[in-house]
Amino acid sequence: IRAKVWLAPFDFGILQYIDVEFYPAREGNNFLEIKISLSRLSGESGIWQRINKSFLYELRKQLLIWRSIDHEAHKQLQLSFQKTIAEENMILNPG
């Protein structure tokens, strides 16, 4: 997954790419390893590094929440996400 992300507070002008890659874990088939790469596109380097600590903490928190919900909830969220993407595509590409 690759995304271009503006980090808050936005007045610092920090823009970055985030790449998230999932791999089968070495320990077992039921787990994934996650590799996250960040590439600064704009903003001051020191501030970018400091703000990314909070950003990565929040990302980790979301991944832990995802891991804590059951399979049925995963399916419901997947369907909701697919519906949202389809609606956005209809808005961006009418007809």
Query: Starting at the edge strand that comes first in sequence, how are the strands of the sheet with 32-42 ordered?
Result: 2-6, 15-24, 32-42
| Residue 23 in tokens | 């791999």
Q: Tell me: pLDDT of 95 over 90.
A: no
Question: What count of Cα atoms within 13 Å lies in the side-chain half-sphere of residue 31?
Answer: 7
Residue 50: the pLDDT is 95
Tens of pLDDT along 55-78? Answer: 999 999 999 998 899 999 999 999
Q: Is pTM, for the whole model, over 0.85?
A: no
Residue 30: the pLDDT is 81
| Residue 35 in tokens | 């590799």
Residue 94: asked if its preceding bond is cis (omega within 30°), the reply is no
Residues above pLDDT 70, as percent of the chain: 99
